[in-house]
Every structure is written in C-alpha cells, then in structure tokens.
Amino acid sequence: MTLREVLHSTEEKMKKTIEAVAREFSEIRTGRANPSLVEGLHVDYYGTPTLLKQLASISVPDAHLLVIQPWDKNAIAEIEKAILKSNLGITPSTTGNLIRLSIPALSKERRVELVKVVHGMAEEGRVSLRTIRREAKESLEKLEKDKIITEDDKFKGIDELQKLIDKYIAKIEELLKNKEKEILEF
C-alpha cells in the first residue's frame, strides 16, 4: 500500500461517515412532513424485513401530512405496525388503501431535546472521523517502519490527514448548523 492509497481509502471512509451522519439527521422529525421520516422503516412483508419505500409510494400533500399508498393492500396492517413500533411518535390513520400520518407541530421543549440528540449524532460522526484518522496514521507509521515510504513522506501524509479531517469535520458542523436551524424554525 502506498501513501496515496492510504489517503484515498481514508477519504472514502470519511465520505461514508458524512453520508451516514446526513442520513441520521434526515430521520429526525422537525415538525415538517418529509418522506425520509418513514422511508427507512423496515416492514415485515411476508416474513421479510423490507424498506417501506420499496413497498409504497410516499407523498407530502402539505407541510404537516404524509400519505403512504402501498402497492399491495395486504401490506397496510404491517406498515401500520412498523410505524407504531418506530420512535416517530405518530399514530397512523388508515382510510381504504391509504395511510395518513399527521405530523404535529413540535413543542419548544421537544425542539430543544431534538437539538441535543442532533448534537450527539454529530459528535458520534466526529469521533468516527477521528478514529479513521488514527487508523490511517498507524498505517502510515507502519509503511515507514517497513521502509515503503520515507519519514518525510510519512509527515506529508500526516499533514494531508489533518487537512482531510479538518475538511470533513467542517462538513459535519455545516450539517449540524443546518439541521439545528431546521429544528428550531417555527
């Protein structure tokens, strides 16, 4: 493995961490209807855990309503169970072959709680990034020890690692700031 390969694989891992943090943030309810609130729910569909977005169309007719229309009417009961089991705190109402989810406005206390949850998620993302950096640094030190790269190359690599971590932590901070703003918006 070369210096470039270590840096490239490290950056790929960091990108995946950012994607994971963004996905977690999208699942946080903000008082506004968004399909991502339920798309990732697993529904027991004929004994197989299946993503809701693979079983139904999800639409947002207005800011406080999600409408789920399953392609198979037999899945309605299982979809309702999955929604009730999730930690969304929303009770579905079914009419015919539609499931409606009314998204209530969030109280000020709940918004403050959600901001704390989002901060925790962001911190987990930063910890993951730092772990990736540590592993890459250990790889660089091993490459130098095995005389595959020079000491200068190791230090250049460590500098590059620091630039990468700074770049990706800034991305997490930007995601956090945007999500916090979205949650606190009335």
Provide the residue-wise pLDDT of the chain in tens; the chain has 186 residues: 788 999 999 999 999 999 999 988 887 767 778 888 888 888 998 888 898 889 999 999 988 889 999 998 888 999 999 888 887 778 889 988 899 998 877 788 888 888 888 999 999 999 999 999 999 999 999 999 999 999 999 999 999 999 999 999 999 999 999 999 888 876
Predicted TM-score of the model (pTM): 0.71
For 81, the domain range is: 36-102
CB atoms under 10 Å from CB of 46, counted, come to 10
Helix axes 108-145, 151-184, angle to 10 degrees: 170
User: What is residue 175's predicted lDDT score, i.e. its pLDDT?
Assistant: 95
Question: Are 121 and 91 in a shared domain?
Answer: no
- 112 and 22 housed in the same domain: yes
Query: What percent helix, strand, coil does the chain show, rounded to 5?
Result: 60, 15, 20
Do 158 and 123 belong to one domain?
yes
What is the pLDDT at residue 140?
93
Number of folded domains in the chain? 2
Structural domain ending residue among the three candidates 67, 102, 137: 102
User: Do residue 173 and residue 111 come from a single domain?
Assistant: yes
> What pLDDT shows up at residue 127?
96
Question: Is 155 in contact with 141 (CB distance < 8 Å)?
Answer: no
**Residue 112 and residue 20 share a domain:** yes
